Amino acid sequence: MQVSIQLSKYIIMIQKIIPILRIFDIAKAKEFYIDWLGFEITFEHQFEPKTPYYIGIKKDDIEFHLSEHHGDSVPSVRVFITCTELEKFCEELKAKNYKYYRPSVKETFYGAKEMTVQDPFGNKLSFNEYINKE
């Protein structure tokens, strides 16, 4: 979905939103997002050794930037994600036996199945599949 915004005489086409999530340990972030959740790294940046990392990750149409840089974001952000095949995804995650998390799916008051997972830095990803009641 694209949104047009009129600012004076210019029209800006908003194409995508990419949240920046604060992380504190690149190895723990990769263990959670890449190894467990199945995201892939789209880029990695570090100015020089022993400086903070900034990486891009992607899974299907979901993109995040993960930053160790102070000021890029704050920990404990919650991101609402719509998806399909949520129960299948949950079972795949359970099968990986991630040491720190055992996810589950629940029905919500807003007509969706939801699975929320929390990364090692307090950020929560809320995966939601709307229930089609006919």
What is the tens place of the pLDDT at every residue in 32-68? 999 999 999 999 999 999 999 999 999 999 999 999 9
Residue 52 Cα to chain centre, angstroms: 20
**The model's pTM:** 0.88
Nearest of 46, 19, 16, 41 to residue 29 by alpha carbon = 41
Q: What percent of the chain has pLDDT over 70?
A: 93
In the chain the domains, ranked by start, together with CATH numbers, are 17-130 (3.10.180.10)
Residue 7 has pLDDT above 80, yes or no: no
Nearest of 102, 108, 55 to residue 80 by alpha carbon = 108
pLDDT category of residue 110 using cuts at 50, 70 and 90 = very high
